[in-house]
């Protein structure tokens, strides 16, 4: 019996990387690249148009994030299958992508054989999470959640704001700011504001996009 062709769509904002993926997959038996997109909005248009079996998607995209694309498309089609392909391995990034409905999470340093095998695995209705990624996800699942207000305070810390500036920005007292900081330090497992800011960025808790908007 002939092998079923897997229809793949590639979503990646870096042109060279996207073309490299398209070129690689175009010569693989049993895989057909049916479309490509360079940003989140275009991704939704192309996915709706081509209805691919599997979509390779980066998390950090212009106009609309990869997580937002996954969420919107899966609201329309719960059978839509996504593989996240990214340079980011922060546990919050992993958690959000998989929570949105991604079936696999690969870092861009993966081999071509691993990518092709993962496409076939996801097309077959299974998931693929590399061991190192699974470990980070397990750690994230066991971590205590930040409250919305603690997240607001952490975001301000990442932006370099003082306690007084945070209190003014969030319309709360400096004493309340200190209480939130003490709590979030414990939850993040760090001992000071600098470590908290570093952890927030490395783990993807505060997206880099918010820093770019603050410092264009």
For residue 52, how far is the Cα from the chain centroid? Answer: 20
- pLDDT score recorded for residue 215: 46
Predicted confidence at residue 189, as pLDDT, reads 79
Q: How far is it, in rounded angstroms, from Cα 161 to Cα 198?
A: 14
Q: Is the pLDDT of residue 12 over 80?
A: yes
Q: Classify 6-141 by CATH class.
A: alpha beta
Residue range 158-186: average pLDDT?
Answer: 90
Q: How many angstroms separate the CA atoms of 85 and 124, rounded?
A: 18
* Tally of CB atoms within 10 A around 128: 18
Rg (alpha carbons) of the chain, rounded to whole number:
20
Per-residue pLDDT, averaged over 11-23, amounts to 93
- Give percent of the chain with pLDDT exceeding 90: 44
Give the residue among 115, 122, 50 at the shortest CA–CA distance from 82: 122
Residue ranges covered by each domain of the chain: 6-141, 148-214
pLDDT on residue 165: 92
- CA of 140: how far to CAs of 76, 92, 149, in Å? 28, 7, 19
Question: Is CATH 1.10.10.10 the classification given to domain 148-214?
Answer: yes
Tens digits of per-residue pLDDT, 94-132?
777 888 888 888 888 888 999 999 999 999 989 888 777
pLDDT of 145 reads 77
Query: What are the pLDDT digits (tens) for 175-214?
Result: 999 998 888 888 887 888 888 888 777 777 776 555 544 5
The per-residue pLDDT for 127 is 86
User: Three-class SS of residue 129?
Assistant: coil
Does 24 have pLDDT greater than 90? yes
The larger pLDDT score, comparing residue 42 to residue 87, is at 42
**Which long-range contacts does 122-126 make (Cβ < 8 Å, 24+ apart)?**
122/54, 122/81, 122/82, 122/83, 123/6, 123/53, 123/54, 123/81
- pLDDT of 40: 94
The alpha-helical segments, DSSP class H, found in 58-130 are 66-76, 91-100, 112-123
């Amino acid at each position: 019996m002939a092998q079923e062709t897997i229809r793949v769509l590639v979503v990646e904002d870096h042109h060279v990387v996207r073309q490299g993926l398209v070129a690689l997959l175009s010569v693989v038996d049993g895989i057909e690249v049916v479309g490509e997109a360079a940003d989140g909005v275009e991704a939704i248009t192309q996915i709706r148009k081509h209805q691919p079996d599997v979509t390779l998607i980066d998390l950090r995209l212009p106009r609309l994030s990869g997580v937002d694309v996954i969420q919107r498309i899966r609201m329309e089609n719960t059978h839509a299958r996504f593989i996240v392909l990214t340079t980011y391995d922060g546990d919050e990034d992993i958690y959000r992508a998989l929570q949105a409905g991604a079936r696999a999470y690969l870092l861009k340093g993966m081999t071509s054989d691993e990518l092709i095998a993962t496409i076939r695995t996801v097309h077959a209705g299974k998931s693929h999470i590399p061991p190192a990624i699974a470990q980070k996800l397990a750690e994230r699942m066991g971590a205590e959640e930040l409250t919305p207000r603690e997240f607001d305070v952490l975001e301000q810390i990442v932006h370099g704001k003082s306690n007084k500036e945070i209190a003014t920005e969030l319309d709360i007292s400096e004493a309340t700011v200190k209480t939130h900081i003490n709590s979030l330090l414990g939850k993040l497992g760090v001992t000071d504001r600098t470590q908290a800011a570093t952890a927030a960025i490395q783990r993807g808790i505060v997206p880099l996009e918010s820093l770019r908007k603050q410092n264009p």
